[in-house]
Amino acid sequence: MTTAPRRTWYRPMRSRSTTEAHRASTPLELFFDLCFVVAVAQAATLLEHDVAEHHFGHGLRSYAMVFFAIWWAWMNFTWFSSAYDTDDDIYRLTVLVAIVGALIIAAGVPRAFESQDFLVVTVGYSVMRFANVGQWIRAAVSDPAHRKAAIRYAVGTVVVQIGWWLLLLASGDAAYWTFLGLVIAELLIPMWAERTGMTPWHPGHIAERYGLFTLIVLGESVLAASLAFENGLGSGANADLIWLAAAGIIIVFAMWWIYFDRETRPQPKWAFVWSYGHYLIFSSAAAVGAGVVVNVVHHSGEAHISDTAAGYAVAIPVAIYALSVWVLHYVPHERGLLLLTPPIGVVLILIAPFVPASIQVIAGLFALQVAITVVLTRRASALSTSESYPQADPPA
């Protein structure tokens, strides 16, 4: 009879095997994700408020900026834990500190949206990033094979963090351009660090972690559809809201299906494209929920926007989501009609807000696109299988 090894307060942070069998998310990682639900919900809710009040530019800009902080902090923890999860007491405490940072970010989201005051968000972001710096320092001490990469991660993160604090002194257009420059600097840190030797992340583990976060952001759309049902059934069975809720559910089902229909793992050659491209998947998935809520308040007469604008509140994030999943999950592996169907569907979705019942039309178009994609994928898979294993000739 085997027993689990005793947990200790400290053990050397050795890199884990990239081929480790049955590698799954730990309870601590799941808890970490759960705490990000608050920040994602705050960002989506405030995006909905801005769009409903006809503040499109302000809402989209603020949402993109806040969501970057949420996504980038989550992503850096995820890739680090895939390579160096020692699960000792120090590691656990460091992750809990990072979770506190996520909650601080969530608390600062309203101020960031309403007055472009990013002080609280910056505090939370720094708490998370400096917790990550501490982890990289541990990795540098314990893992000589990847010491150069770990040091580069730690140094690069600290330098860019100084830039984020200096950003608080900027104002107007200079602040936005500085923000963009810092985003680019953040994205370049892993590229610079990994040039010394790729850290040993686990492809299957990373794919599972990204799938779990996709479920979290899809939860915003599920909640929005539930709100539409609640309002529709609570106001004398309002048929418009019930149909809107049904369309929202269909859109969420289609979003789930197209993402999880096939298992796609990041490959070393395209790891950065795959990883960074998920920013569009995550942010657009949460934004779909905000768009559905916009349409709920629009049907209730509380939103100061046109029918077309309300339609685009759903059409744009759905189109971004569909196009991003197509590029990351299908383009590298498929040929023929599968490379044409999704873009055509996206164009039709972006035209849908000009017709009546646009949300229902978007839901129908997206569901049809997913159905066609699934049929073509199954057909291509069956053809490939038959070519690989040809049937024997019948006996004479």
Q: What is the mean pLDDT of residues 1-29?
A: 71
Residue in 350, 213, 382, 367 with CA at minimum distance from that of residue 281: 213
Per-residue tokens: 354? 């000009």
Q: What is the mean pLDDT of residues 100-113?
A: 89
Return the pLDDT at 2: 45
Return the pLDDT at 384: 60
Distances, alpha carbon 221 to alpha carbons 162, 291, 369, 388, in Å:
36, 9, 19, 41
334 close to 314: Cβ distance less than 8 angstroms: no
Return the pLDDT at 135: 92
Return the pLDDT at 385: 59
Higher per-residue pLDDT: 366 or 172: 366
295 close to 318: Cβ distance less than 8 angstroms: no
Return the pLDDT at 396: 45
pLDDT of 391 higher than 60: no
Count Cβ neighbours within 10 Å for each residue of 293-318 and write b for 16 or more, e otherwise.
Answer: bbbbbbbeeebebebebbbbbbbbbb
228-245 pLDDT per residue, tens: 777 766 655 577 778 888
Return the pLDDT at 275: 92
56-80 pLDDT per residue, tens: 888 898 899 899 999 999 999 999 9
89 close to 13: Cβ distance less than 8 angstroms: no
Other Cβ atoms closer than 10 A to 325: 26
Q: What is the mean pLDDT of residues 212-227?
A: 86
Return the pLDDT at 349: 94
Mean pLDDT, the chain, rounded, equals 85
250-308 pLDDT per residue, tens: 999 999 999 998 777 788 788 899 999 999 999 999 999 888 888 888 887 777 788 89
Return the pLDDT at 276: 94
Q: What is the mean pLDDT of residues 337-348?
A: 83
Higher per-residue pLDDT: 268 or 327: 327
Looking at the chain, the whole-number percentage of residues with pLDDT higher than 90 is: 39
Residue in 327, 332, 182, 189 with CA at minimum distance from that of residue 258: 327
The domains of the chain are located at 27-194, 203-385
pLDDT of 159 higher than 90: yes
Q: What is the mean pLDDT of residues 182-190?
A: 95
CA distance 318 to 312: 9
CA distance 319 to 258: 13
Return the pLDDT at 235: 57
Return the pLDDT at 196: 83
pLDDT of 331 higher than 60: yes
